[in-house]
């Protein structure tokens, strides 16, 4: 079949099944906003394999499987993110007497303004005193990423906190 025929056939498949696949994504994830994106991403994946799939007996079944796998990945990512956030913000048992509550609140507010990866690198490196290698392992990134994200995160904290940044974060300047 010529390319134009394949494109037309896929377009018909898309038009016929996009809404159903979006509904499936919505029901699996509970996220109405993400449902259309998941369905579109699944259909894009199908388009890349359309030459093989259009001859398959049940391309819609395959499409549903792709949506289900993508939804599962999205849910797992959200769960991992929640666990990381909980880990980083959970209370530590080794409290220091006479804590400067205002300073702690300033640091937490500044950390909250950092993107997740920078915040995670700074917290693991400086609050949990992990090595660059251990931080990279915990976050599933390279040591180079840890170095650059930590450096950029600390620079951003210094900008946000001013001259007190090193004192408040435990970093020697």
Domain borders along the chain are 3-87, 96-169
Residue of 35, 17, 20, 64 whose CA lies nearest to 9: 17
pLDDT of residue 94: 53
Question: Quick one: pLDDT band at residue 164, thresholds 50, 70, 90?
Answer: low
pLDDT digits (tens, 9 = 90+) for 97-109: 556 677 777 778 8
What pTM was computed for the model?
Answer: 0.47
pLDDT digits (tens, 9 = 90+) for 109-147: 888 888 888 888 888 888 778 889 888 887 888 999 999
Given CATH 1.10.10.10, say whether it is the number of domain 96-169: yes
Do the first three CATH levels of 3-87 and 96-169 match, i.e. the same topology? no
State the fold for domain 3-87. Answer: Rna Polymerase Sigma Factor; Chain: A (1.10.1740)
């Amino acid at each position: 079949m010529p390319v134009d025929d394949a494109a037309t056939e896929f377009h018909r498949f898309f038009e016929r099944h996009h809404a159903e696949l979006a509904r499936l994504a919505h029901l699996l994830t509970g996220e109405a906003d993400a449902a259309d994106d998941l369905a579109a991403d699944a259909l894009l994946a199908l388009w890349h394999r359309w030459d093989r799939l259009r001859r398959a007996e049940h391309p819609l079944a395959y499409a549903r499987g792709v949506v289900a796998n993508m939804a599962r990945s999205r849910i797992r990512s959200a769960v991992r993110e929640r666990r990381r956030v909980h880990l980083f913000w959970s209370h530590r048992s080794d409290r220091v007497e006479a804590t400067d509550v205002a300073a702690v609140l300033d640091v937490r507010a500044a950390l909250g303004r950092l993107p997740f990866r920078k915040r995670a690198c700074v917290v693991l490196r400086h609050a949990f005193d992990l090595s660059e290698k251990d931080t990279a392992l915990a976050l599933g990134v390279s040591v180079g990423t840890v170095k650059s994200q930590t450096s950029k995160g600390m620079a951003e904290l210094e900008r946000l906190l001013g001259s007190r940044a090193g004192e408040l974060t435990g970093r020697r300047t």
